[in-house]
Amino acid sequence: MREIVLDTETTGLNPFDAPRHRIVEIGAVELFNQVPTGRTYHQYINPERDMPTEAFEVHGIGDDFLADKPVFAAVAQEFLDFVGDAKLVIHNAEFDMRFLNAELEWAGKRLLPNDQALDTLKIARSRFPGSPASLDALCRRFGIDNSAREKHGALLDSEILAEVYLELTGGKQPDFALSQGQSRKDRASTNDDWRPKPRPAPLQPRITESEKAAHAAFVEKLGEGAIWSRFD
């Protein structure tokens, strides 16, 4: 199963505010059967507007840096081709999907169905109700190194989210052999000796003779109907 772990950075919180807020960065990591394939998508985008101070303080992407970057319409089809019909794994998916579909609509491209997105924020809140569910909080919970995350960045955040997602879904150690096309039957035939063998010598009993005697005296006091008598 192909999945795309995705994140965006934007100029604000709502694409339909005036003036329009826009996407300035997209980062995405491809998974196949919950194994990173090494394929990524990363694109900075000229938002055709100024960068608000509040947004710059979050991601550090400024007007001068974005001046020579392509506008969204120029990269929209390339982005859609990379995504395809894969499930989109996004933290707080409603936010990113709103921006992506606004940009796609303005570019005259097909929209992404909302049910194509899987929201890891909702998964985290369901698994750990009442606990912080931000990406940083989940990194702390799962012991994931996010020390490089001084500011938000779409590609770095999607790489970190991929690790968090695998932890959330129990897929941290996926069956890599199966992802390479090897069946369980094939693996079993090449490794028939995996079952543990009997110990060469039994372990010494840990119960002392005095403990055995004390237990026997206790059971005797319980009478013939004691449940211990059935296992004597």
Q: What is the mean pLDDT of residues 123-130?
A: 96
Q: What is the mean pLDDT of residues 109-130?
A: 97
Domain count, the chain: 1
The pLDDT of residue 223 is 75
CA–CA dist 154, 121 (Å, integer): 16
What is the domain extent for residue 70? 2-183
Q: Is the pTM of this model over 0.85?
A: no
Q: What is the mean pLDDT of residues 37-50?
A: 97
What amino acid occupies position 177? A
Q: What is the mean pLDDT of residues 166-188?
A: 54
128 CB-contact burial (10 Å; exposed 0-12 / middle 13-18 / buried 19+):
middle
Tokens standing for residue 205: 């009993």
Tell me the C-alpha to C-alpha distance, in Å, between residue 217 and each of 181, 228, 229, 231.
Answer: 62, 12, 12, 15
Active site residue 21: no
CB distance 103 to 15 below 8 Å: yes
Evaluate if residue 189 carries a pLDDT over 50: no
With respect to residue 62, please indicate whether it lies within any of the assigned structural domains. Answer: yes
Residue % of the chain over a pLDDT of 90:
67
Evaluate if residue 137 carries a pLDDT over 90: yes
Among 21, 59, 152, 215, the active-site one is 152
Non-local CB neighbours of 201 within 8 Å, separated by 6+ positions:
none
Check which CATH number belongs to the domain holding 110 and give it. 3.30.420.10
With respect to residue 130, please indicate whether it lies within any of the assigned structural domains. Answer: yes
With respect to residue 97, please indicate whether it lies within any of the assigned structural domains. Answer: yes
Between residues 101 and 147, the one the model is more confident about = 101
